[in-house]
Structure 1
Amino acid sequence: MTTTKLKIIALIAMFIDHVGQFITTAPEWFHWIGRVAAPIFIYAVVIGYQHTSNRRKYIIRLYLFSLGMAILNLIINISFNDTQMYITNNFFAPLFLIAMIILLLEKSQGKYVIYLIIWQILAFFLSVLFVEFLNINLTSDTTINYQFFGSIFGSILFIEGGPLFVLLGLFLYLSRNKKGNTAIIYCLFSLFCYVVYVKWGQRQDFLFPYIVQFAKYQWIMIAALPLILFYNGKKGIGLKHFFYIFYPTHIIILYFIGVYLR
């Protein structure tokens, strides 16, 4: 299983999931299929980071696409604010954070860990400052506003997927050379998602909605493990630019179809 084949499978699963997100009459099992998409894309970024010839350029590209997606989402969400149907999708943001944090941790120096902590503290307080104190309410949905500034500043809390999926990326990176460890860690993480949802998934107070950004069936992501374990270390035909372009394109098209149907 090459990287390209993994991404294509994830892309198909993601598309089905997003059909279920924007077309409200779609069956719930569309979302079950979609659970395998995010872990595979996270794994693909870990592999891509490991093999890229220019890691800084790779990280900058992820951030620029995250920034572009955030701005695109903002324009559409403001323009169609009266529909109360928002685009919350910007998975470039957690992928950027995963790659960036790996880069900092690879330095193996305490000061870079301190830089990481300071960065996240500043990103958190800047996001809160803009939304809560400066009252820059871009839309009528506070969560959407936080996600915009979270993507801009790189806050691990205020991005799609939240901190747990960034954590998954770090786990997959640490176990990348040992499939046995990957299998154990991935299974434990899937179980952890189930337990977290049972304990805190229904809570809407404090920061829980930003930490637990997944449904009760998130544990179905375990179905992605065999695909990840079948990875053969080869890149495949690539299609790098296709994946970057397909993501925003299909979301926008499905969003407008959803608005029209509503």
Structure 2
Amino acid sequence: MTSTSLKLIALILMLLDHIGQFIPGAPLWLHWVGRISAPVFMFCMAWGFYYTHDRQKYLLRMYFFGVGMAMIALICNNIVADPYAMMTNNIFVTLLLVAVLVWLIELRKTDKPKGNRYLALFAGYQVLTTILCILIAQVVPLMGMMSFVGAITGNLIFNEGSFIFVFLGVLIYFNRTDKKRLILSYGLFCLAFLGLEWSLDPRPTALLYNNYQWMMIASLPLMLSYNGEKGRGLKYLFYVFYPLHIVVLYFIGNLYF
């Protein structure tokens, strides 16, 4: 499959997942198939970031879309009283942080002292921004304030999926070219996640009805089907469709059910 085909499949699965998130009474299986979406987007982002001719422009675009999505979520979560489901979705920030860490790690490979210095600065910055997110959320008691500040500052903790999914994106990037390594690394990650979810609730039914993120292992066959071709591109489809469909579903679920 081309990267465009993979993105379209991931987009459809994401839509189903968000229907399950925002529409009351939606069947649980929508979330099951939705677990496939984010890793596939990360895989496509990994190849896109590798091939892009202007990484700075790529990072800035991802940053501004992330801040824009955070602003939309902050407004929506505070104009609807007692929402059925809060708008916590902002994969732009997660993908931005994946790209930043990839850039820093690759910099370290070519210039170790400079790379180490930048990674240390990044770590220190993350500590400061984490404290800032918590403090501002206490001073400005708006729903979703920490995620909003996290988007503006590019924080590893307060983003969709937190540092765990940022790590997953980095893992996918550095194993994307070798299918055996991708199978092993991604498989071990999903197995570790399954173990974590099992430890939180050891009931077998919980892995189907409560803690089902481990089902993202089903993304692997799609990643392995990638043929190295870009396809038609549809560059801005995801950037537009992502916030648009979330806002529509949010208001349908919270105002009409």
Q: TM-score over 0.5 for the alignment?
A: yes
The answer for the alignment partner of 2:112 in structure 1 is none
Say whether the 8 Å CA contact 1:70–1:151 is kept in structure 2. Answer: yes
**d(CA) in 1 for partners of 2:141 and 2:81?**
12
Say whether the 8 Å CA contact 1:63–1:96 is kept in structure 2. Answer: yes
Instruction: Using the aligned pairs only, state the percent identity.
Output: 43
* TM-superposed deviation, 1:103: 1.0
Q: How does 1:104-143 map onto structure 2 within 5 Å?
A: 104-108=104-108, 109-132=115-138, 135-139=139-143
**d(CA) in 2 for partners of 1:149 and 1:180?**
39
The answer for the alignment partner of 1:248 in structure 2 is 243
Say whether the 8 Å CA contact 2:40–2:223 is kept in structure 1. Answer: yes
The answer for the alignment partner of 2:49 in structure 1 is 49
The answer for the alignment partner of 1:234 in structure 2 is 229
The answer for the alignment partner of 1:195 in structure 2 is 195
With over 3 angstroms needed to count, the CA separation of the structure-2 counterparts of 1:163 and 1:200, relative to structure 1, is farther
Q: Per the alignment, in what secondary structure is the counterpart of residue 93 of structure 2? A: helix
Alignment TM-score, normalising by the size of structure 2:
0.91
1:17 and 2:31 matched: no
* TM-superposed deviation, 1:162: 1.1
With over 3 angstroms needed to count, the CA separation of the structure-2 counterparts of 1:10 and 1:191, relative to structure 1, is same
**d(CA) in 1 for partners of 2:256 and 2:187?**
39
Say whether the 8 Å CA contact 2:24–2:253 is kept in structure 1. Answer: yes
The answer for the alignment partner of 1:208 in structure 2 is none
The runs of 5 or more residues in structure 2 that have no matched partner are: 109-114, 203-209
The answer for the alignment partner of 1:34 in structure 2 is 34
* TM-superposed deviation, 1:201: 6.9
**d(CA) in 2 for partners of 1:69 and 1:221?**
24
Q: Which of 203, 211, 220 is residue 225 of structure 1 equivalent to? A: 220
Q: Per the alignment, in what secondary structure is the counterpart of residue 156 of structure 2? A: coil
Q: Per the alignment, in what secondary structure is the counterpart of residue 53 of structure 1? A: coil
* TM-superposed deviation, 1:200: 4.1
- In the alignment of these two chains, the number of paired residues is 244
Say whether the 8 Å CA contact 1:17–1:30 is kept in structure 2. Answer: yes
The answer for the alignment partner of 2:83 in structure 1 is 83
Equivalent residue letter for 2:142: L
With over 3 angstroms needed to count, the CA separation of the structure-2 counterparts of 1:229 and 1:124, relative to structure 1, is same
The answer for the alignment partner of 1:69 in structure 2 is 69
With over 3 angstroms needed to count, the CA separation of the structure-2 counterparts of 1:225 and 1:250, relative to structure 1, is same
**d(CA) in 2 for partners of 1:56 and 1:155?**
18
**d(CA) in 2 for partners of 1:159 and 1:35?**
17
TM superposition outliers: structure 1 runs of 4+ over 3 Å: 81-85
The answer for the alignment partner of 1:211 in structure 2 is none
Say whether the 8 Å CA contact 1:190–1:221 is kept in structure 2. Answer: yes
Considering only aligned residues, what root-mean-square deviation do their CA atoms show, in Å? 1.5
Say whether the 8 Å CA contact 2:49–2:58 is kept in structure 1. Answer: yes
Say whether the 8 Å CA contact 1:105–1:112 is kept in structure 2. Answer: no
**d(CA) in 2 for partners of 1:181 and 1:87?**
35
**1:105-128 C-alpha deviation (Å, 9 max, x unpaired):** 211121111122112112111111
Equivalent residue letter for 2:7: K
